[in-house]
Structure 1
Amino acid sequence: MRKSLVATAALGLALATAPAYAAPARKPNVIVILADDLGYGDTGVYGSTFVKTPNIDALAADGVRFTQGYVSHPVCAPSRAALLTGRYQTRFGYEFNPVGRDRTSGVSLDETFIGEVMQKAGYRTGMVGKWHLGESGGYHPVARGFDEFFGTTAGANAFIIDTKPGDEFHTPRGAEGSYGTVEGGAGLGDGPEIEQMVRLRERAPITRGREVVEVKEYLTDAFTDEAVRFIGANKDKPFFLYLSHTTPHTPLQAPAKYIDRYRHIENKGQRVYAAMVSSLDDSVGAVRAKLKAEGLEKDTLIILLSDNGCAGYIGDACTNAPLNGYKGMHLDGGVRVPFIMTWPGHLAPKVETRVISSLDIAPTAAALAGATMPKGSDGVNLVPYLTGKKTGAPHTALYWRSGVNFAIRDGDWKMWMINRAEPSEVASNAARVTPEGVKAELSPRGHFVMLYDLKADPGETTNLAATRPDVVAKLKARIEAWDKGNVPPQWTSMRQSVREVEGELVKLYP
C-alpha cells in the first residue's frame, strides 16, 4: 500500500511539473494587398525621388523585395483573374477587360478561386475593394469563396464625392474619355467633375455583400478601415484577406490630408497621383499596426503588389522607370510590378532577383493553409524557395497572350510579338473602342518582333530580333507549345489601340 501511495504521489508530481501539452501553432493568416495601376518606380523602395512611402519601404525592409516580380497581363481584370486562380487567364478565356458589357458573366464558374480553397481549409475569408471579375449571381465575390465583401464589383470608382476645401482632381489629357471612369463610361471632361463622380458612383456603387451602402469618406480610407475591422473581428482564427485597392487608378483624386504632403510639387498630375500613393502607403501602415496591436505580426504573411504597370494615358504623373512601357503593353513596364512578401520570423529580409509571378500567390497561400490547389495550377509555392529548402528558379519561363499578341520571358530573354497596325491607322494614346465581335486578326504584314536581353538591357531599349534569329525561333516554338493549353477568349477586346513602338505602328488589345 505504501509503495502504491508513493508511486501515486510521484506520478502526481510528475504530471504537475510536466510541461503543458503544446497545441499546434495556428495556421498563418494571409493578406494580399493589391494596388491598381501602381508604377514600378512610384514607391520609395523602388526608386521614387518624391513619392514618400515609409510604410511600404518598411514592409520591404522587413521582408522579401522582388526586383523581377511579374503579373500575367498588363491590364486589370485578366491580371486579377490569374492572381486569384493561380492559372493563366488564357486557360479559361478571361483574356480582356469586360468593357461595356452586361454584368451577367465573369470568370468561368469551372474555375476555383483561392478564397474557396482557403474556406475549405478552415479560414475566414474577406475581400475588400475592387473585384472586376463578375457581378451577378454566381460570379459575385460572396459566391467565389469570400465570406465577406465590401467594395465595388466594377473596374473603377470615384474616390471623392463629398468634397472639402483642398481636395484635388486631375483630368489627364488624352484618353480620359475611355479610361477615366467606370468601364465604358463618359470621361471627366464631359461635365462638372463632381457631377461626373456622382454618376460614376451610381453606376458602380459600393456594396457590403450584395447590398448597396453609402460611402462618403475617401474611398481608399474606407477600404482601409474595413480591412482593419476584418482583422480585429477575426483575430482568433486564421483568415485570408484580399485588400484590393482602386488607388492610384483613374480618376485621379485626393483629399487635402494627402495633397498637403505634396503642395510643393507644381505638376498637378504628379501632385495628385503622389497623394493617392500616399493613401495606399497609409493603408499598409494601418494594416500592419492592427496586426501588431493584436499580436499577429509573426502569424501573418503579407503580399503587396500591383495588378499591372502604371498607365501612359495619365502622362508624367506616374513612372515605371527604369523599365520601358506602360499598362497595356507587354514590355516590362506593363507587366513587371512592385512585389513584396513579408512574414516576420519566417522569411529573412532580402532582395530577391529570381523571376516570380502573381500566379504564385494562390499556391503559396494554399500551401500555408495546408491545402492544395486544383490540378492545372500554373504557379508555385514560393516559401520553399525563399527559405532555401528549394534552389533554382521557381519558373523556367513566363508567358503572355492578348489576342494575337504574345510575349515570353525565358531566362534573361524577353520577346514580344505584336500585331502590326495598318498604314492607314493613326497612333493615339487613347484606346479606340471597337464593336463587340470584332476579333483581333493578325495583320497580313504579320508580327513586329522585339527581342531583349534583360540582363544587359533591363530597359528593353535594344531590339536583338534581327541579329538573333536563333533565339526568336526557339522562343516562338515555346510560345506555340504553351498556347496549346489555352482556350479562345470569352469575348473580344473592345479596346484596340494603335501605338508607335520602335518606329513601328502596332496594335494593342487591352
Structure 2
Amino acid sequence: MGAAAALSSCSAAGAQSAANAPRRPADRPNIIVIVADDLGYGDLSAYGGRIPTPNIDALARSGIRYDTAYATAPVCSPSRAGLLSGRFQGRFGFYYLLVGRQAGMPANETTIAKVARQANYRTAMVGKWHVGEAPGMAPLDQGFDSFYGFLGGATNYFPDSTKGLIYADTGPDRLVTRTKFPILDGRTIVDPPGNITDVFTDKAIQVIDQKSDRPFFLYLAYNAPHMPLEATPEEVKPFAADPSIYSRVYKAMVTTLDKGVGRVVSEVRRQGLEKNTLILFVSDNGCPNYDRGACSNKPLSGWKAFPLEGGDRVPFMMSWPGHIKAGQVSHEMVSTLDFMPTIAAATHQPVPAGSEGHSLFAPRPATARPLYWRQGPNHWLREGPWKLVTVNKTDKTESLSDVLGKPILSGLPGGVSPLGQWNMLFNLDRDPGEHHDVAAQHPEIVARLQDLFERWNRSNIDPAFPSRREYRTEIDGKKVQLVF
C-alpha cells in the first residue's frame, strides 16, 4: 500500500477523505529526517510505552503516526543503508553490521542527500553515520555539504575524562571510547564537552538558524539510546524510584533524546518555518535484549537482530502542518524505503532509478505490496497478515552474556546451516506477538511466499563482506542461528 491513502483514511475515526491527504507543495519545504538509535517500538509513550516522551508524542499528534512501519534490517548499518539509498541494501551486498571494516555503502549509490542537493538544497548531517568509513564513503562524499558526528556504530556520550557518570555495563560498550570512535566536524576530530545528544541538538539548531535563500535538508541521526548506557546524576535523578540501574539510565537517555527533538521542533516554530518544514522521525531498528530489560518492543516479540517484529518494526511519524492533517494514526504497512521517493517528491526531483519505496504523497497501489528482508542465509517477508521466517537451524543455544563476551570475529560462514533451515509462518492479524508457528497447517502459503522471496532475491548480490557476529537462541521453541 502507498501512504497517501493512509494519510487520508487512517485517522483515529477511520474516515476516508481526500481533503486530509498531503498536498505536494508549490514551493519545496525544508526537510528534517530524525533517526533514533535502537529505540524500541514500546519505548515511546505515543506507542503505549512507559517512558514519558511528551515532545515526540506532540510531533506524532501534529501529523500522522504509523503503527506498522518497518526498517529494512533489524540492525544498524544495513538499516541505515536502506533508508539512505531507498533500495534494499542487499542490492549492493550490505547485509551485516560494519564493525572495524573498510567497507560500506558504495559511493555511487544515490542517497537522499544527493537528491536534495540536486534540488539546490543545502544538505547537512548531524550524528551517527555507520554506513562506511573507507575513503569515498563518508557523509561529505555521499551528498552532504556539512557533517558533525561520528562514522562508526557507537561512541561515548561524554568525553572519556568525564567523572561522576552513572553507568550501566551492557558488555559490548566496554571498548567504546571517544579516542577510538571520535567526533568529527567535517573531517577534523573534535571532543565537545557535555552530553553528545545535547551537542547534536545544538548543531541541528545551527543548521536551522543558518540564513540562506536555499531550503535545508537535515539528516539528524542521534545515537541515543544506543549503548553505552551512561548519564549524569542530574539526568537520572527523576527516575530514582526505579530499582534497576539499567532502567534508570535508559529512561534518562530517552528523556534527553525527547528533549532534543522538542528543541529542534521549537526552533523550527521560532523561525516561522513550521508550515514549510517536513519532519520525519523513525528508529533504525528495534531495541536490544542486552539492555537488561530497560527497553521495550512490546507488544512485539524479539529484539534487535531478530527476524521478528521486535527487530525491525519501528516507531515512525511524519509531520507537516498545513499539508498533513494532524491527529492521524495509520495502520498501513510502510517502510523506510519510502523515505527516498517521499523526499524526491517534496524536492520536486525524479525518483532515482532502482528506488524501491512508495512516496508517502502518492496514491496507494491497488494491490498491497509485500515487504522483504534478508540477512545472509536468513530471510523473511510479510504479505498482508502472513509473515514467513526462514532461519538457520542450530543444535545449541547460548546465553546473551556468552555472546557479548566473545571477541568480534574476522568472519563467519554466510551459508545455510548444515542442519538446514526452519520455515516459520505467523498470522500477524491473529498472532501479532508471533507466538504460534502455523507453517505445518498452511504448507501452500509457505510455498507461495517462498516463491515470492526467490523471485525478489534474484536482484540481490552475495554479501560484500561477511558477518562477524552470531547469536544462537530460540524462536517459538526452535533453536536458531542469527547472523548479523
TM-score normalised per structure 1: 0.86
**Match of residue 68 from structure 1:** 68
Please give the secondary structure, in 1, of the residue aligned with 2:454: helix
Give the aligned partner of residue 486 of structure 1. 460
Residue of 427, 432, 447 corresponding to 2:398: 427
The range that moved more, 442-451 or 215-224, is 442-451
- 1:153 alignment partner in structure 2: 151
Cα distance per residue 1:333-379 (max 9 Å; x no partner): 00000101011110112000000000101210111101123211111
**Structure 2 partner of 1:78:** 78
1:110 deviates by 2.5
Question: Kindly tell me: are residues 52 and 435 of structure 1, through their superposed partners in 2, closer, same or farther at Cα, counting changes over 3 Å?
Answer: closer
Q: Residue 499 of structure 1: SS of its match in structure 2?
A: strand
- Give the structure 2 partner of residue 15 of structure 1: none
Match of 1:438 among 412, 422, 428: 412
Question: Aligned partner of 2:39: which letter?
Answer: L
1:170 corresponds in structure 2 to 168
Q: Which of these residues, 320, 326, 336, is aligned with residue 303 of structure 2?
A: 326
Change (3 A) 1:255 1:62: same
**Counterpart of 2:204?**
227
The question of whether the paired residues in 2 share the 8 Å contact of 1:86 and 1:359 is answered with yes
Which structure 2 residues correspond to residues 274-353 of structure 1 after superposition, within 5 A?
274-349=251-326, 350-353=328-331
Q: In the alignment, is residue 405 of structure 1 matched against residue 364 of structure 2?
A: no
Aligned-partner residue type, residue 255 of structure 1: T
Q: Find the partner of 1:361 among 339, 351, 362.
A: 339
Cα distance change on mapping 1:271 and 1:393 into 2, 3 Å: farther
Shift in CA distance, 136/234, structure 1 to aligned 2, threshold 3 Å: farther
In the TM superposition, residue 279 of structure 1 has moved relative to its aligned partner by 0.9
C-alpha contact (below 8 Å) 2:107/2:141 kept by paired residues: no
What are the within-5 Å matches in structure 2 for residues 254-269 of structure 1?
A: 254-269=231-246
Deviations 1:460-496 (A, max 9, x none): 1111111111110110000000000100111110102
Greater length-normalized contact order (CA 8 Å, ≥ 6 residues apart): 2
| Conserved? CA contact 2:129–2:152, under 8 Å | yes
Give 2:162's aligned amino acid: T
| Deviation for aligned residue 1:52 | 1.1
Deviation at 1:129, TM superposition (A): 0.3
> How far apart are residue 236 of structure 1 and its match?
4.1
Which ranges in structure 2 are unaligned for 5 or more consecutive residues? 1-24
Letter in 2 for 1:210: R
1:33 aligns with 2:11: no
C-alpha distance in 1, partners of 2:219/2:329? 24
Q: Contact (CA 8 Å) 2:43, 2:296: kept in 1 or not? A: yes
Q: How many pairs are equivalent?
A: 455
| Runs ≥4 residues deviating over 6 A | none
Partners in 1 of 2:237 and 2:440 — Cα distance? 51
**Aligned-pair Cα RMSD in Å:** 1.6
Distance 1:329 1:437 in 2: 19
Which of 107, 113, 116 is matched with 1:115 structurally? Answer: 113
Deviation at 1:452, TM superposition (A): 0.8
Encode CA deviations 1:139-185: one digit per residue, 9 max, x unaligned.
Answer: 110010000000000110001235355x311113xxx1xx325xxxx
CA drift of 1:216 comes to: 1.3
State how far apart, in whole Å, the 1-side matches of 2:46 and 2:337 are: 23
> Who is 1:415 aligned against?
388
Paired residue type of 1:365: I
- Between the aligned partners of 1:418 and 1:426, the Cα distance in structure 2 is 14
- Whole-angstrom CA distance in 1 between matches of 2:338 and 2:432: 23
Find the aligned partners of 1:112 and 1:414 in 2 and give their Cα distance: 30
Q: Is 1:39–1:310's contact at 8 Å kept on the other side of the alignment?
A: yes
Q: How far off is 1:446 after superposition?
A: 1.4
Q: 1:394 to 1:495 in 2, by over 3 A?
A: farther
SS at match of 1:33: strand
Structure of higher CA gyration radius: 1
122, 125, 138: which one pairs with 1:124? 122
Aligned to 2:222: 245
**Aligned-pair distance for 1:286?**
0.5
Q: Which residue of 2 aligns with 1:469?
A: 443
Give the letter for the 1:156 counterpart.
Answer: A
Following superposition, the deviation at residue 106 of structure 1 comes to 2.0
Report SS of the residue matched to 1:498: strand
CA 1:268 to 1:490, structure 2 compared with 1: closer, same or farther past 3 Å?
same
What is the 5 A alignment of 1:17-28?
26-28=27-29
Q: For residues 333 and 26 of structure 2, what CA distance do their matches in structure 1 show?
A: 31
CA distance in 1, matches of 2:416, 2:408: 16
Secondary structure of the structure 2 residue equivalent to 1:215: coil
Distance in 1, Cα, partners of 2:451 & 2:483: 22
Asked if structure 2 preserves the Cα contact closer than 8 Å seen for 1:32 and 1:303, the reply is: yes
Pairwise CA distance, 1:25: 5.1
**1-structure distance, mates of 2:163, 2:452:** 55
Contact 2:31-2:217 at 8 Å conserved across structures: yes
Deviations 1:7-43 (A, max 9, x none): xxxxxxxxxxxxxxxxx95310110100000010001
Residue 503 of structure 1 aligns with which residue? 477
TM-score normalised by L of structure 2: 0.91
Whole-Å Cα distance in 2 between the matches of residues 336 and 269 of structure 1?
A: 23
Once residues 173 and 284 of structure 2 are traced to their aligned partners in structure 1, the CA distance between those partners, rounded to angstroms, is: 17
Equivalent AA in structure 2 for residue 401 of structure 1: R
Change (3 A) 1:368 1:234: farther
For 1:52, give the aligned amino acid: P
Q: Secondary structure at the match of 1:361?
A: helix
1:382 pairs, out of 354, 357, 360, with 360
SS in 2 for 1:68: strand
Structure 2 letter corresponding to 1:457: D
Report if the CA contact (8 A) 1:356-1:394 is conserved.
no
1:94 correspondence with 2:94: yes
Question: Which residues in structure 2 correspond to 1:134-145 (within 5 Å)?
Answer: 134-145=132-143
Aligned to 1:270: 247
Residues 141/365 of structure 1: CA separation in 2 closer, same or farther (3 Å cut): same
8 Å CA contact 2:70, 2:314 repeated in 1? yes
